[in-house]
């Protein structure tokens, strides 16, 4: 009887840990804003992104390497991001500039379903703090990086 109670208690505890409360897009955006620097005009784009995360329909994070990320807030809502299979960034001279460049969203479902959303602000992310906190953000939608892209640019 005591063993059954112990096993049942462990199961309840494991279930409670697995069902942590979900953060809203607004809470995630505030988290990233709190861990981002002052706005910058632009950043160097390596051509391929290491990874990205949509934060609602008006912001996203992009990672140019495993330890360099940016919070991009958009000029308008970009509802297609929730259904994106991939994204890209427009560039000028290998730089992504706030107010000029856009996020290009490829929706799931194939060719011809592209939309663009202009970037309003760019803020560098404190990646050390983000990496330490990521284990607490269980429900953040992370799009895995392409395994063909090396961890760090050479």
CA-CA distance, 100 to 79, in Å (whole number)?
Answer: 20
Q: pLDDT tens digits for 140-153?
A: 455 555 555 555 44
Nearest to 96 by CA among 54, 142, 60: 60
Q: Is the pTM of this model over 0.95?
A: no
29 or 85, higher pLDDT: 29
Query: What is the CA 70 to chain-centroid distance, rounded?
Result: 9
Q: pLDDT tens digits for 40-50?
A: 999 999 888 99
Quick one: DSSP state of residue 143? B
Q: Per-domain residue ranges for the chain?
A: 23-136
């Amino acid at each position: 009887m005591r063993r059954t109670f112990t096993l049942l208690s462990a199961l309840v505890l494991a279930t409670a840990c697995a069902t942590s409360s979900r953060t809203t897009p607004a809470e995630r955006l505030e988290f990233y804003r709190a861990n981002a620097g002052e706005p910058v005009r632009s950043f160097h784009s390596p051509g391929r992104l290491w990874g990205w995360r949509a934060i609602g329909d008006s912001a996203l994070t992009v990672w140019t390497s495993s330890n360099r990320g940016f919070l991009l807030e958009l000029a308008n809502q970009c509802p297609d991001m929730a259904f994106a299979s991939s994204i890209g960034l427009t560039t000028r001279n290998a730089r992504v500039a706030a107010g000029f460049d856009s996020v290009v969203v490829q929706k799931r479902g194939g060719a011809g379903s592209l939309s663009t959303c202009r970037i309003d602000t760019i803020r560098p992310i404190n990646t050390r703090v983000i990496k330490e906190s990521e284990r607490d953000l269980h429900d953040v939608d992370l799009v895995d990086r392409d395994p063909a892209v090396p961890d760090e640019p050479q």
